[in-house]
Amino acid sequence: MGDTADGLSSKRTVFVTVGTTCFDALVKAMDTLEVQRELSRRGYTHLLIQMGRGTYEPAKVYLTLVEWLFASSFSAIVISCSSEFLFSEVVMLLVGKSLGEDGSVAVEYFRFSSSIADHLRSASLVISHADQELKCIMKQLEVATVKRSILEFRLVPSLQLLPSLLFHVQRREENGVKKIKGLWVMRSGSIFETLRLAKPLIVVVNEDLMDNHQSELAEELAERKHLYCAHPQTLHQVIACMDLESLLPYHSGDATPVAKLINRYLGFPED
């Protein structure tokens, strides 16, 4: 196990996700030599592509799911695009695949899972996207983190799944797997979720979408140096030129100014 851990530490994975949409231009861009050369020059060794409804199939993409999930997730750049993302499906698929395999699964690409139930059954870790109870979950996870001596463990499961999640984490540890350092779960389409997790982020703008206002947001945030913004054609340049150190952390905003104005308008006293 220790050997693998050492081997894993040198592996740095890039996760590309297009959500439920079709974004062939991005998948194609990832499949070009230029992009892959730049990625490898920057020390990224693995590429994981979730290609949604797209029709373009990359020629050669290597990926190791277990590393991505349990070891190298900290070094991952998350390349996301502006679309809704059935995150639970994808992660369940990932987890489902990673089980019973010895650590280096070579899967070229995947779309999304067709039967959630199957993956649910086979998964030892179930993560589904649901952020409504986020604060509550975070609290519980922090408690769990202390108890189970997991260094960093942040994810966004749904509340019903939490007990089974913790059970499975525990079981993995009993089996001697101590590598669960952290797992960052993000929803594409939610740029802010990623920013809050302080992950370096490249947003690739999907030019095929009608009225794509997400690109407006991405460009603005790129201007403010919170992330990098790219088009499928310019992706390799962005990867070549980016300086992750220069990215500024994003501080979440709050709604108190709105609340103040609403209260004032309605004649409620300010406090």
Figure out which of the listed residues 131, 142, 152, 207 binds another protein, where binding follows CB under 8 A. 131
Max CA pair span of the chain: 67
Give 229's strand partners: 203
Side chain identity at residue 136, one-letter code: C
What number of other Cβ atoms are within 10 A of residue 85's Cβ?
A: 24
Cβ-based nearer residue to another protein, 58 or 189: 189
Among 189, 206, 227, 238, binds another protein (CB under 8 A): 189
Say if CB 203 and CB 230 are below 8 A apart.
yes
State how far Cα 14 lies from the chain centre.
10
Nearer to another protein, 67 or 89 (CB): 89
Which of 172, 192, 200, 231 contacts another protein by CB under 8 A? 192
Q: Which stretch binds another protein (CB under 8 A): 105-113, 118-126, 138-146, 253-261?
A: 253-261
User: How far, in Å, CA of 152 to CA of 209, rounded?
Assistant: 37
Residue 105 has a CB neighbour count (10 Å cut-off) of 18
Confirm or reject binding of residue 5 to another protein (CB under 8 A). Answer: no
246 counts as binding another protein under rule CB under 8 A:
no
210 binds another protein (CB under 8 A): yes
Closest CA to 149 of 171, 123, 170, 175: 170
Q: Does 173 bind another protein (CB under 8 A)?
A: no
Among 145, 217, 234, 240, interactor with another protein by CB under 8 A: 217
Residue type, 88: S
In the complex, what is the shortest distance from the CB of residue 156 to another protein, in angstroms, rounded to a whole number? 12
Alpha-carbon gap, residue 173 to 184, rounded angstroms: 19
> For another protein, how many residues bind (rule: CB under 8 A)?
32
Q: From the CB of 214, what's the least distance to another protein, in Å?
A: 6
Q: How far is the CB of 9 from another protein (least distance, A)?
A: 34
* 197 binds another protein per the rule CB under 8 A: no
258 binds another protein (CB under 8 A): yes
Closest approach of another protein to the CB of residue 115, in Å? 20
Q: Does 160 bind another protein (CB under 8 A)?
A: no
Among 45, 190, 234, 237, binds another protein (CB under 8 A): 190
Binding residues for another protein (CB under 8 A)? 84, 130-133, 189-190, 192, 209-210, 213-214, 216-217, 219-220, 252-259, 261-268
